[in-house]
Amino acid sequence: MIFNKEELAAIEEMVERKDIASMEAMRNGSPQHARAKVGFVRSALMVSGHRVKHLNRLDDLGADMAILNLEDGVAAELKETALHLIGLFLGRAERIFSKTVVRINPIESGGRDEIAYLNTVLPDAIRVPKIKSAADVEEALELVDERICLHLSIETKEAWRALDSLRLSPRVEAFYLGVYDLLASMNLPISVMQLHNPTMLAILSRFLLESSVLGVLPVSFVYQEYNDVDGFENWCLLEKKMGYHAKGCISPLQAEIANRVFMPDEEERLWAQRVVELFESRDDSSGFADEELGFVDEPIYKNAKNILALFKRLEQQNS
């Protein structure tokens, strides 16, 4: 926990009074928390930006990414208070193990001012909603401090159409599939959100492939039925088979399930290690046949190297 019981009670009073000046005095300067070493994201947990007790757990979350939310779910009259509340908790935390991402409001609806403030707070990334074009991304990149990465919510038909043009900089690090808004924008019924529905599979496939080609992390959609544990896990299992490894979450239990499902298999690591050892022990790269591994050529070798690199990032993350 970042604050003790007495401090927490004082902060809750500040929130009730919308006493931003006292929050800023308590924050007292630039961020203190150590940056999280997150090289492999499995869970992206939404944390309410106006909930004091939720934010107080930032230094002890089980999620790889914490999405501090200022957009949907935060009433208009609370958004400014929530913004400074996030600044207070990020500024006073000594160590946060999750990658911290602040989900702002649309740039034209308060997002510009929120970015200006967050540039003084330095979260790991800022997530911009309702993107429609490369021009929107260009403006966001100009507004956001160069030390902060940019994450984009893909939730409009315009963004979907322009997906392959939205990574204008290496700082554009992740895309989030906002499937509920996206379906509404495309005038498609929400009933297509069923396991193995061909429309959903097409959406998930294109989002994954386009993001991967661009070198951007694709974060799959938030499953809003938070009490349906089996349903959430089934989506995770399907998405893992497709090639995903990151899922939006709205509860700590969902984050726990995503972390477990998307953890790479030890058998996969052993296979990759064996492929690399045998391939690199040969004098040529034309490929070879092995009784256990089958035929191994350069593409198989490159895939195995990618798997080992992934495990190395996980080791560094957990050290």
Q: How confident is the model at residue 290 (pLDDT cuts 50, 70, 90)?
A: confident
Strands 99-103 and 125-128: parallel
Please tell me which residue, 297 or 221, carries the higher pLDDT value.
Answer: 221
Report d(CA 315, CA 319) in Å as an integer: 6
pTM score, two decimals?
A: 0.91
Domain residue extents for the chain: 5-261, 266-318
* CA 35 to centroid of chain Cα atoms: 15
pLDDT at 94: 86
At 87-111, the pLDDT tens digits run 999 999 988 999 999 999 999 999 9
pLDDT at 32 (0 to 100): 66
Q: What is the pLDDT of residues 105-139, one digit of tens each?
A: 999 999 999 999 999 999 999 999 999 999 999 99
**28-37 tens-digit pLDDT:** 876 666 677 7
CA 311, chain centre distance (Å): 19
| Cα distance between residue 72 and residue 247, in whole Å | 18
Distance between CA atoms of 46 and 297, rounded to whole angstroms? 42
Q: Please write the tens of the pLDDT for every residue from 42-63.
A: 999 999 999 999 999 999 899 9
Q: What is the mean predicted confidence (pLDDT) over 135-151? A: 97
- The domain 5-261: what is its CATH number? 3.20.20.60
Among 64-73, 198-207, 306-315, name the one with the lowest average pLDDT.
306-315
Q: What percent of the chain has pLDDT over 70?
A: 97
Least confident of 87-101, 184-198, 229-243, 299-313: 299-313
For the cut 70, the answer to whether the pLDDT of residue 2 exceeds it is yes
